[in-house]
Amino acid sequence: MRTSTCALLCLLLASLTPLNAQQPVVGDDGRSDVESKIISLEKRLWNGDVSKLEADDYEAIKHAHRYHRSDDEAAAKEAKFALVSMDDIRVSMLRPDVALMTYHATEKGSFRGTDVPPSLYFGSIWVNRGGEWKNVFLEENLPDAFTETYMPRSGSKSGSVLQNPSDKNATDDTNELLRIETDLLNAYVHRDLSVRDRYVADEFVGVDSSGSIYSKQQDMQDMKDGTFALKSFKEEDVQVRLLGDSAVVTGRNTATSVYKGKEDSFTIRFVDTFLRRDGRWQMVYSQDTNVADGTKESLEREISANEKQMLDLSARKDLEAYGRRLPDDALGVYSDGYASKSMCSEQ
């Protein structure tokens, strides 16, 4: 978990039935048949196929709140937005029957009168149960635009939820993962590179609350040269969801950090995905989401995050999405004069 701005969830999964080991078929695009199927199913979810594809124990983190299948089913009836494109797609098979898909999505439309952000990053976990793939977990780094219009109808309990409360191994794994999460945060405070190196996989991918992607190597370098450090942190509502030799840890973190010499206090929700290799847990994916606090600093962070999204759309040359984010009276200032919205969208 990168603590530069976000925090989250995790629950019990029913028993998983491993798939029969078999050599995957690789298509012309370099993806296996299973990976291609996961991508196809994720796109179906965007089309509102919630009841068929989301598991009964599905949970999601959206704009810093926890949601369940019943929430998504109700929201799908009012959705007036659609997927435009997916890119930067990565599918990791955590087990033959557990897949993690991360991607960047461009969308358009509105929900309950509020325009949806055109550019978001997602993390989605699928589990094969009885030969059918079901979506069990989702996080999106959606800003707080829908906090008032889309609140969860169903409650969720705090604390660690195990695969089987009577399973001692599950209890041991949960306690170990909770300890690792705290150790990883303490490593930021004490600049302990050895802890980050031990518990973060070499292929790790992180998405911070602004939507920026970073690697283990970038994270370690920021710690080493003092670019990023934590001064303090407080974990809350930390939960562990065990998936055999993989696990999802979610929670809420209120922290004070120093980035490039500037101190910042914030609250985030995080989702961290772990794999057990040779008896040792390692984090392979992390995603953060801002929790708005109504302060001036929170507003500044939201403006900064929106600006990064605009720069991202500009770099992608997605002029349609870029234009949708600009108000009609937008005015750009350039070295050779001023520009209207239509002119800005063409820059």
Of the listed ranges 59-63, 178-182, 243-247, 319-323, the least confidently predicted one is: 319-323
Of the listed ranges 22-31, 206-215, 265-274, 295-304, the least confidently predicted one is: 295-304
pLDDT of residue 346: 57
Say yes or no to pLDDT of 36 above 50: yes
Rounded average pLDDT over 196-202: 95
Which residue segments constitute the domains of the chain, with CATH numbers given?
33-146 (3.10.450.50)
Say yes or no to pLDDT of 295 above 50: no
Q: State pLDDT tens for residues 214-226.
A: 999 999 999 999 9
Of the listed ranges 34-43, 96-105, 253-262, 283-292, the least confidently predicted one is: 283-292
Say yes or no to pLDDT of 6 above 90: no
Cα distances (angstroms) measured from residue 233 to each of 245, 264, 302: 28, 12, 21
Rounded average pLDDT over 82-108: 90
pLDDT of residue 66: 77
Rounded average pLDDT over 305-309: 60
pLDDT of residue 14: 33
pTM of the model: 0.63
CA–CA dist 49, 39 (Å, integer): 14
Sheet of 246-259: strands edge to edge?
Answer: 213-215, 200-207, 280-290, 262-277, 246-259, 228-243
Q: Please report, rounded to a whole number, the percentage of residues in the chain having pLDDT higher than 70.
A: 67
Q: State pLDDT tens for residues 13-30.
A: 333 334 343 445 555 667
Say yes or no to pLDDT of 301 above 60: no
Say yes or no to pLDDT of 211 above 90: no
- Residue with the two structure tokens 């005015």: 331
Neighbours of 297 (CB within 10 A): 13
Residues whose CB is less than 8 angstroms from the CB of residue 131 and which lie 6 or more positions away in sequence, other chains included: none
Say yes or no to pLDDT of 303 above 50: yes
- Kind of pairing, strands 262-277 and 280-290? antiparallel
244: tokens are 């055999």
Q: State pLDDT tens for residues 141-195.
A: 765 555 555 666 654 433 333 344 446 677 889 999 999 999 999 999 999 999 9
Residues whose CB is less than 8 angstroms from the CB of residue 170 and which lie 6 or more positions away in sequence, other chains included: 162, 163, 164, 242
Q: Chain-wide mean pLDDT for the chain?
A: 77
Say yes or no to pLDDT of 311 above 70: no
